[in-house]
Every structure is written in structure tokens, then in C-alpha cells.
Structure 1
Amino acid sequence: MVRDIDRRTFVTGAAAIGAAGLAGCTGNGNGNGNGNGDGNGDDSGNGNGNGGAGREVSLGVLMPITGDLGSLGGTIRDGALLVRDQLEDAGVDYDINIVEGDTQTDPTAGVSEANSMVNAGVPAVVGPAASNVNFQVVENVFIPNGVVGMSPSSTAPGVTDLDDDGYIFRTCPSDALQGQVMGEVARDRLEAETAATLFLNDDYGQALEAEFVSAFEEDGGTVLNQVSFEPEQPSYSPQLGDALDEDPDTLMVVGFPQSGIQLFRDYYSDYDTGVDIIVPDGLRDSDLPGEVGNDMENVIGTAPLSDGPGSDFFNESYEEAYDRSPGVFNGQAYDAAAVLILANIAAGDNDGTAIRDEIRNVANPDGEVVGPEDLPEAIEMVENGEEINYQGASSSVDFDDNGDMIAVAYEIFQFLDGGIETLDTLDFEAE
């Protein structure tokens, strides 16, 4: 059931044991297509048919293939690439040209790669992934150059309030919600009265930690210590010692896998008192226990869930293509690529502003519902000036005025038996 979250009432959905399968609507509303390829649609849903079949559709995919988030970035990228591969296999009459870039989980590298994409004429990009990279890229590259950015995983609350002229979107939810969810899990499921935090010293870590602290304290808990850390350090023993001083009931850790490997190795080597640990999506990596050398069964977490109308089709397609189950934010990347390609075709041109103006026309009601299994037909409908409503793998993919998702789902997961199991799911609709 989709519902608003009440800060004081945390309600979970039905338990679903097993690894989670993680990660519409052209504005040519009147259908009076002139077939001249000019794509004269506007965001009111009134425009012309496109007639642009056969042309190149350009899309960037800017992900952290290396660096602190590298172990997750490749699989997120693959979610986006799957859209192109499916369309090519279906024989659509467009050349889907994807330009890839590696941010290295580093803002400087991300800006450099983004500038290369702009110079190559890329009008829209899936990414970046990490919030500290996303802020630098969108503010210094995408917005000034009129390029659409759609991140599948930049969850920092500050993305909502960017002065972006409408160019920046995301298919993942804001951590303004995840902090509340984590606070409720710590208080209600773990029954913690005291907590400490250990968080990555960047936009993602700082913002999510602040949201957790606020939620936990508003629910009557006490936060004893708040300790930040830098990425990819040789040891995290000093930070662990500071955070775990005073014996908190739970430790909330925000980070990425490469740093997490060393952090958890240090914890289990020198600080393992059996304290309950809670983590967010950035540490949802099924390879982590093996890398750490511990089953990590005292670690529970929360993460955005791919639970859209097209999730079953996406999960099956992803596993068939890559011989592995999709992970965190993979479905969100698929949806971002699908929406940007549909908006490009609706716009009739590789132009960022025109694509921006078509995104809600291909993703929000009204229109005939289409999903991941219908993408070739959806492209033909858009080309013919028909209204569609894309509903995706991760959610219904409806954007609000800030470019955020209106409705999404979360999972509560735990590291068990050397992997990850989903304990509960939670659907919510933003107020």
C-alpha cells in the first residue's frame, strides 16, 4: 500500500526473505504530427509528432567504475546500458549512442568526464552516482551548459533545492526520508536508546547522518558520539574508538564499500562487542562480508528498493543479460536511461533543453501506461505523437516539481549467511 510516512508510526510491509531485486508520456499531446522531425513539443503536452526515426539518440552514462563506490558503480551502469541493448535487439529505428565516463568517485574526475561529454555534444546523462560528485558536476557542468542530469543514486537532500533551471532529476529518493527510516529502525526494530554515528565526510555522509540524528532524537533516543571519516584510509581504528566510547546501543555507519571493507575489518578485529550496526544503501554490497572476512550478521540496513510495475521484467532481463541478480540502484539507472531516451525521441533532437521539457510528458500521467517490457512500442507511440505514461522498474517514475520521485519503496535488509536478505519492505508517497 502506498502511504505517507508518519514520523511516529513506522509501518513495514510483508516480509520478503531473499536477495532484493535492486537496484511516461509524451508531451506531443494532440497527436497532430507533421513528421518533419522538429519535435516542437512543450511541457504542456501540446506539440507535434516527431518523425525522427533513423537519427542518433545520444545519452551519457557517468558512473563511478573505480574509487570508493567502484564495486557498485559498474552494476548501476549496467542497468542503464541494458535499455540500449534491449532496444537494439528489438531493432528500433534509432542509433542509441551511449557515451560512458568514470567519475572514479571523485568530484574532480567527475567534472572532467562531464566536460568531455558536453564537448562531445551529449545532451542528457544518467548520473553521477555519488552525491559529492553529483553536486560538483551539475553545478559546474550540466546546468551552465543546458545538459539534463538524472542520477539513479544521488540521495543527498540538497539535490532537491538546487537552483537548476529544471535540468536536474533523480530516480532515487532523498535521504531526507532514509534518515527517518533508519531512525525508526534503530528505535523500533533494534530497540536502541542510545546511538553513535560514524559517517563519510562528504555531502552524502554528512546529510544522511544529520537526518538520522534528528529522527532518532525526535523519537526519544540519545546520540552519544558523532564521528566523521575520510575515504579509503589505511585504518579506521581511531574513529571506531571515538564512536564506540560510552557503549552505545547501536552504531550508525554511512560510507561506501571500499572504505567499508577496512572499517569493518578494524571493527571485527578490535572493537566487536556485538553492538547492533545500521547502514544505508551505500554499504549494501553482497560482497562485503567476504571482503571483510566476517558474516556481519549484526549489521542491518535500509536502501531504496526497485519495486515498480516493471520490476519483474527488469529483474529477469538484467539477470539474463549479466548472469547476476540486480543490486542497489540498478533499477533506478534503467528507469533514468529509459526516460531520457523517450524524452529525446519526443523532443526530436539531441538538445538538453528540449529533452528537459519532455521528461514529465513521457513519465508522468496522463497517457497510456507503458513499462520496461513495452519500450520498443513506447518509442513508436512517442514518434507518432501519442501520449504515454512510463512506469518503471524501480517505481512509477513520476517526477515532482523539483525533479524528485513522488512515490518509491524502501527495503530493510540484513547481512546473513555471507550475503544479503530482505527483511521487510516499505512503500511511501512523498507529501
Structure 2
Amino acid sequence: MSLSSRLASSCLVRRGAPGFSTSALRAASNRAVVYTKNGDPTSVLTALTHPKLPSPPPSTLNIKFLLAPINPADINVVEGVYPAKPQLTSSLTQSGLGSADTPVYVGGNEGLAEVTEVGSGVEGVKKGDWVIMTRPQAGTWSSNKNVSPRELLKVPRELDGFKLDEVSGATITVNPATAYNMIHDFTTLQEGDWLVQNGANSAVGQAVIQIAAAKGIKTLNFVRNRDNFSELKAQLTSLGATTVLTYDELADKSLRGKIKEWTDGKGIRLGLNCVGGKDTTLMTQLLGQDGHLVTYGAMSKQPLSLPTPMFIFKNLQAHGFWQSRWYQQRGPAEQGELMKKLVQFMSKGQLSPPEHEIVTIGGHESDETATQKVREIMSKLAAGRFGKKVLLRMEEVSSD
């Protein structure tokens, strides 16, 4: 038996503790991907079946998750290297894993869910509505969950005849929202203005390209050099990218002259950074007077070093952006307006869902099989064998 099988089997043994029978497990309908301690996702994540949710208590509601992405930050959370920490859960089972004796973390931060039952005292949400979670690390790698209405936000299933698809709804919370807010919150860009960004092929980067193009804003996009660069350039251009270059070209002293021609001498006032390191230092030097550099990631894991003359002579302003903080600081009305704007872009064909692959954890599969499948996904992600965003579909557990 493999190590992962032995670990999964040990979890199954703990769940079979007195007070929670095997027959009860077979009749249970919910499942979640959980862990008890931080570590390598390929070894600490476990699929846990737990009883069907009762009717929601007052001021709460029950939801069924339709799709939940596995984002890079989610993996960092499991590893214990991400600033946002999930809360331990002790109410999944009566004894064993997921109980007060052995509380667990439920993985996942982003996801689309459907309201299945509404408790008394809840207003503004009804059965059948689609919702997303706004509380960080809400545990979206689940089939079903009982939540407070304060933790979620309703998204329009249909807007002006446009029907939102599940993938777009499941991926709307983080990447498109981050892109939209970074474009709008730090400076005012008009049609014909330019912005510059690195990590342009990331999910956020692609959303930036599409939203900017829809508003007539031109984009200078940097990506890592690769064998299929021409294909990537064509893909980003098809999304609306104005210019796509490699980080190698940042060191070319003639680049500034070319950019001055492209922008008709108008300075670039917004730079978006998710990489860090020396490439970001060089990119920052492309910003003009009163430019803003917004950092939302550090993919290179290198320090961010900014040129002092940019601050003194060009009045550079540097900011950090975290979409989770944005949700915490904004009320439901502003959050809802953001969702509406993003869906409007989608309805006009101006914002498309990311390339993706849906992995289903079937309701007929045992917890051991589901555990192995989840860990295999994490192993492939670590090895870079998924070229697309991965989304989990957690089916309710079959009773037969």
C-alpha cells in the first residue's frame, strides 16, 4: 500500500470511532477536502465525508458548491506560507476527524455556490440564488456548507438576457475583481492611455488585458521568454493586448525610445506587478511622471527594489493590493456593484473565463479514492503539468 493510501486509510479509521458508525457514514451526503496541519498538499489533504446538513438555524443559510478553483494562493495556505489563515472547524462530525476532538481546516477560498435552504430572518437571498464567498478562506472545497449571509455575496445568474456560466461565476471573486480594482482604484485612466504589467499571462494579467481593452486603455505586457512565445503573444493579442514583450527585452536600452513612440510621448501612469525582483525594477523605470506601481504578488520570491530617483524626480507612488482586504473594507452595496460590472463585461463578450479543467470528485467514490485524486491534482500542479486553471466539482456522496 502506498504512503498516500496508508494516510487516507488512517483517516478513515479515525472517522469510524465510537459514536459515528459506518452505516451513518454511508448515508451521509456531504464531503470536504480537509487538513489538520500545514504541510505539503500532496500528503496533508484528505477527503472527509460528513453528515447531511440539518435545516439552517435562524439567520443562516445552506449552500451547495457548484465549482471551486484551486488557486496558487490556496496551495500556499495549505503549506502555511500565506498571510491569511483559515479557521479550524469542529462541527463536521460527532467524533473523529472534523469533530471537537480533531478539528480540521477546510481548503479553498473561492467558489460558486447555490442557495439550497434559507433560515428564518435571512433577507435578500432566496433558494436557487447563486452566491460567492467574501470571507477569506471560507472553505470552498466542499459539497455543502452552512454559512452566515454576511460571508457571501449574491451574483446575478442572468443580466439583460445574458446567463452567467458556472466557470465564470466560480472564478469571478478573485482574478477579474483584482484586475478591475487595480485599474480603477489608484489613478484615472482615459481611453488611449497606457498601463504596463508583468505576469501578463496570469489569470489576473489576462483579465487586466480584457478589461483595459474594453475601456480603450492600451497595455504593455511582459512575460517570461519561452519556446512557444509567439503562440502566447498571439493568445494575449487576441484578448486585446496592445504589445507583448519578454523580460529579456526590458534590459534593451532602446526600448524606452520605442515606448515613447508607441505612447506618442505620453507617460505611462499605471504599472501592475506580480513578480518582483530586478525585472520589476526595470519595468518601474518605464513609468512616467506621477506614476503608480501596484504590487499584488511576488512570483519570483525576490525583494522589490525601486529606483530612488523615481520617487524624488517623478513622484512615483507605490501601493500594495489584496482583493481580500478590499472585500473587508467595502460594504455589500459596493461589492454587489463590482460583481454587476464584471458580469456586464462578460455579457458583452469583453471578459471571458480562464482556460480551465474541471475535476469532479464523484459522489460514488470512496473517501480513500477521493483523497488520492485530490493529492494527484496537487502533485500535477506542483510539477506544472496543468496548463489551465483547475476547478473542483465536489458531488454529494451517494447513499448506496
TM over 0.5: no
TM-score range, shorter chain: 0.3 to 0.5
**Greater RCO (CA < 8 Å, at least 6 residues apart):** 1
- When Rg is computed on C-alpha atoms for both structures, the one with the higher figure is 2
More helix by share: 1
Query: Normalising to structure 2: TM-score of the pair?
Result: 0.35
Query: Normalising to structure 1: TM-score of the pair?
Result: 0.33
